[in-house]
Amino acid sequence: MRNFISSGAIIAVFVLGSAHAEENWGYCTRSTTVSPELRIRDCTDRINKFMMLVDDGESYMRRGQAYLDSGQYRLAIADYDLASAYGSQTIDALLQRGVAYALLGDFQHAEQDLEAALSWAEWAQRPPNDPLLVRVKLARGLLVAVKNGIQGPEVLRQVVEATVHQEK
């Protein structure tokens, strides 16, 4: 009986913590109407408060985007690594990490990430017109132009960001 009560209490804490976590996004958003600094702060707070209670891939994605927007590409890459570890954000995380690598001039890693994102999309059986898949294919094509000096890396970021800042 005691084990049953303890298990129930643990589950209740998890469920209540998860519900509270969903309400507590604050400025942890992908929106560019909020400064990257505020977004980083609130996403970090959210990650620190709820990291043991919820699958927080989305918080890492949002903070990674804020780091990308503020030019802190290595920190963005680290957050995209963590977001992809949760699994639910893998394709988007690989896309964004690829963009961050391209902005650092590391085209080899950028290309690897974009190819991996396409493989994940194929495995997940995404339809050809899926917006995320379209962005990955667009980024891959632009990466070729960037590598060949036809475009600067910033164009890759601008085009991919056209839909990145939308909330899920």
Q: What is the pLDDT of residues 57-109, one digit of tens each?
A: 888 999 999 999 999 999 999 999 998 887 767 888 999 999 999 989 899 99
The per-residue pLDDT for 16 is 37
Does residue 126 sit in helix, strand or coil? coil
Average pLDDT over the chain, rounded to whole?
Answer: 78
- Domains of the chain in start order, with CATH, are 2-164 (1.25.40.10)
Cβ pair 118, 90 in contact under 8 A: no
Q: Quick one: average pLDDT of 157-163?
A: 65
Whether the model clears a pTM of 0.85, i.e. scores above it, the answer is: no
Range name among 1-10, 56-65, 124-133 with the lowest pLDDT average: 1-10
